[in-house]
Amino acid sequence: MKRATMGEGSTPLVESARIGPALGLRLLFKMEMCNPSGSYKDRFVAAEISRFLHQGVRTCIATSSGNTGASLASFCARYGIACAILVNEDAPSGKLQQILGHGARVFRVKDFTTSPDVTQRVYHRLASMSDKHSMPLVVSAYRYCPVGMQGVEDIASELAAQCRGGLDHLFVPVGGGGLFTALCRGFSRHGGKQPKVHAVQPEGCATVVSAYLKGRDQVQPVISTTRISGLSVPFDIDAGIALAELRRSGGRGIEVSDAEVFAAQKQMLLEEGIWCEPAGAAALAGCLRAGKERWIEPGSSIACLVTGHGFKDPDSLQSASKENPVSVIDEADVDSQLFEVNV
């Protein structure tokens, strides 16, 4: 079977230079942003496209908040597969430009991923279209694409190999729930010491975490208000199985505000030199919340999943950098006074 690949996987695990030591923790960043298209979704898409090549698939349809679409568009361009991608109205420009640059067709759908009713109807229509025309529907979820999601499970085995002393805690951003489920299942498959896997969700779309905190067994739909692209999934796609995996793993569900996520993104820029998209900083936001609440033991070994690169959402970088303006100076001012402002 021909395997589709662009060199995805084997991403670096980078130890925190400043944030972790300040917290008294061994903090590690799993740099999924270093995958070819800039997010962990390359693992998912590589597995899906490999299946397509085996089956002779030449067209596909997909939904995406941006990263699945960008990855799918790049792989489809490489392997000569036509794809059409439905996104929400507010998908970040960086992700859209990446998708369009690879030649995929893109359609913005009003209220998609914010209204649970609209979102469910869109998925129903796409599923019917997929069945009618024998055209694969690509959604990064076990419910739709279990083979592709198995490719994401490899993150766990990589973490286990990279952290030979073992991890105590792993913080994972949660949108639809597929990534979180993949990490938990990957650790179960790998065996050995398993970390507590914590689910971090924005308060404005906390499908999994609100159910966890309220002791419910069912995930209820919500009206999404979060501005964190990629984590706005207002109803149960893989959220139900993610909730079950959260309880099984012994992890916690953590709600964070959008402001906490943007602050964590800025802190990674300024203190770690890491430029990730906001969703990629959500795990750190959850870790910082845990540090403030003091329920992580000092000296613990912790990893945060950095899911996507900052070029995906250039507007967020503009916001983070506005407090550091460029100065215009005369030639005579080029001397030791350059750092006065920062002292």
Q: What is the pLDDT of residues 141-197, one digit of tens each?
A: 999 999 999 999 999 999 999 998 889 999 999 999 999 999 999 999 887 789 999
- pLDDT value of residue 343: 36
Q: How many domains does the chain have?
A: 2
Same domain as 231, residue 176: yes
Same domain as 139, residue 160: no
Q: Would you state the structure tokens that stand for residue 50, as one six-digit string?
A: 């490999």
**Count of alpha carbons within 13 angstroms of residue 108, beta-carbon side:** 10
Query: Does the structure show a pLDDT above 60 at 342?
Result: no
Residue 1 lies in a domain: no
1-5, 150-154, 262-266, 279-283, range with the lowest pLDDT: 1-5
pLDDT, one tens digit per residue, over 17-29 is 999 999 999 999 9
DSSP-derived secondary structure letter, 220: P
Same domain as 253, residue 174: yes
For tokens 């490999």, name the residue: 50
Same domain as 232, residue 297: yes
Better-scored residue on pLDDT, 332 or 135:
135
Residue 335 lies in a domain: no
Domain final residue pick, 95, 125, 147: 147
Domain final residue pick, 112, 130, 147: 147
Q: How many residues in the chain?
A: 343
User: Rg for the chain (alpha carbons), in Å?
Assistant: 20
Query: Does the structure show a pLDDT above 50 at 117?
Result: yes
pLDDT, one tens digit per residue, over 42-55 is 999 999 999 999 99
- pLDDT value of residue 336: 66
Report yes or no: 88 and 108 within 8 Å, Cβ to Cβ.
yes
Handedness of CA 208, 214, 215, 218 (dihedral sign): negative
Same domain as 192, residue 104: no
Put the strands of the sheet holding 137-138 in their side by side order: 105-109, 82-88, 59-63, 137-138
Nearest to 282 by CA among 168, 171, 204, 152: 171
223-227, 293-297, 334-338, range with the lowest pLDDT: 334-338
Same domain as 235, residue 136: no
- pLDDT value of residue 240: 96
Same domain as 103, residue 178: no
3-12, 161-170, 205-214, 331-340, range with the lowest pLDDT: 331-340
Mean of per-residue pLDDT scores for the chain: 93
Residue 179 lies in a domain: yes
CA distance 325 to 68: 34
Report the CATH number at residue 32: 3.40.50.1100
Residue 8 lies in a domain: no
pLDDT, one tens digit per residue, over 221-242 is 999 999 998 899 988 999 999 9
Nearest to 240 by CA among 105, 130, 143: 143
Residue 198 lies in a domain: yes
Residue 100 lies in a domain: yes
Same domain as 315, residue 183: yes
Where do the DSSP E strands lie in 136-292? 137-138, 169-173, 196-202, 253-256
Residue 91 lies in a domain: yes
Residue 316 lies in a domain: yes
Domain extent, residue 78, equals 41-147
Same domain as 160, residue 141: no
**Predicted confidence band of residue 340 (pLDDT cuts 50, 70, 90):** low
Same domain as 81, residue 163: no
CA distance 56 to 89: 32
Same domain as 232, residue 84: no
pLDDT cut 70: percent of the chain above it: 98
Domain final residue pick, 125, 147, 169: 147
Same domain as 190, residue 134: no
**Predicted confidence band of residue 1 (pLDDT cuts 50, 70, 90):** low
